Amino acid sequence: MQSTRNKLIKLLAASKDDYISGQLLSEKLNISRSAIWKHMEKLKKDGYEIEGKSNQGYRMIRLPDKLSENTVQWGLNTQWIGKSIIHKTSTPSTQIIAHQAAQNDALHGTVVIADEQTSGRGRMSRQWHSTKQKGIWLSLILRPNISPYLAPQLTLLTATVLADVIYSVTKIRPQIKWPNDILMHSKKTAGILTEMQAEQDQIQYVVIGMGINVNQAKNDFPDIIQKKATSLKIETNQTWDIVKLIQEILVTFEQSYDTYIKNGFPHIKNKWESYGFKIGKTIWVKTLQEEFKAIFSGIAEDGALLIKTIQGETKQLYSGEINWFQKEE
């Protein structure tokens, strides 16, 4: 069903401005002309503009910029990511949908996308502003065959994927604030939230949630976060095609993930450090017991934050509040 529709879209796209007859389409796809007509109606609902003329046939006028299972899947050049896509026009959070799907045996590589999240969340249920059709709100279900204690590396991997995509499309080099916030000119452009269900020695599933600010204007953000948040549009003065960006992210993620499973973390570590925010600079680390300043020296072989204290001691941090923006005294 899905593939027939994709073939149909390809045929229409290939013939560009010329009409292609219903007869020819029905022969090529090996379905009846009334089935073709039904497919056309579905495509129109997804936002494709298709012109039908009697005696001439069909012609596609415009591809939709609208999100849907079809628009994301069409032209998506991946082996396993996005073979199954769940699209919601509005949802409280793509993470919630992804968890439900994963518990109902959703496939490795299933993608959940939404035009809008009404209560998108970040760390510790902090709110994430997910304005309608202005950004990418996406959750990815993975079932990696790795030990649960290695899974945090996937969040660093995801950060390098987003940084690569943003860099390749905008030509502006973003930075990654440990472990996985994407910054452009020191302002947050994208965030990642990963959640896992695992037993002691086996992962059931991981849901990687990504929120990317794409086409927001400055006043789309609430006042309090205007100073901290930015979007691709604010940084580039350009509106970006959300569907194309999603496809780019999925393709890049698949390549990077496959390499990680095959070769481990080293290449991710190098890439991460090439984007690393404040490497070699002073940061303030806050733990339950104390607050101290230290030099951020890079990340460890397992992705942990490496710091060097004033006493010259090297420490690894897996978690904790870090003040990245405090001015040097």
Partner 1 sequence: MLNMDEIREIIKLIDQSSIDEFTYETSGATISMKKNENTVSQTPEKEVHKKVQSADTPSLVDIKPEIQEEPKEEQTEIKIDYDYEIVSPMVGTLYSAPSPEREAYVTVGSKVEKDSIVCIVEAMKLFNEIEAEVKGEIVEILVEDGELVEYGQPLFRVKTK
Q: List residues binding partner 1 (CB under 8 A).
A: 123-126, 148-149, 151-156, 178-180, 192-201, 206, 287-288, 303-304, 318-320
- Say if residues 236 and 168 touch (Cβ distance below 8 Å): no
- Say if residues 191 and 162 touch (Cβ distance below 8 Å): no
Helices 2-14, 33-45: crossing angle, 10 deg rounding: 90
Q: How far is the CB of 271 from partner 1 (least distance, A)?
A: 15
Q: Would you say 280 or 320 has its CB closer to partner 1?
A: 320
**CA distances for 151 relative to 98, 143, 195, 204, angstroms:** 17, 11, 10, 11
Q: Would you say 135 or 303 has its CB closer to partner 1?
A: 303
Return d(Cα 173, Cα 186) in angstroms, integer: 11
Q: Token pair for residue 55?
A: 């005696």
Q: How far is the CB of 26 from partner 1 (least distance, A)?
A: 50
Beta strands in 78-117 (DSSP E): 85-91, 111-117
Return d(Cα 92, Cα 107) in angstroms, integer: 22
Q: Would you say 43 or 163 has its CB closer to partner 1?
A: 163
Q: Would you say 86 or 210 has its CB closer to partner 1?
A: 210
Q: Would you say 208 or 229 has its CB closer to partner 1?
A: 208
Q: Would you say 5 or 269 has its CB closer to partner 1?
A: 269
- Say if residues 228 and 186 touch (Cβ distance below 8 Å): no
Return d(Cα 64, Cα 110) in angstroms, integer: 22
Q: How far is the CB of 148 from partner 1 (least distance, A)?
A: 5
Q: How far is the CB of 291 from partner 1 (least distance, A)?
A: 14
HEC secondary structure over 32-86: CHHHHHHHHHHHHHCCCEEEEECCCEEEEEECCCCCCHHHHHCCCCCCCCCCCEE
Q: How far is the CB of 107 from partner 1 (least distance, A)?
A: 21
Q: Would you say 47 or 92 has its CB closer to partner 1?
A: 92
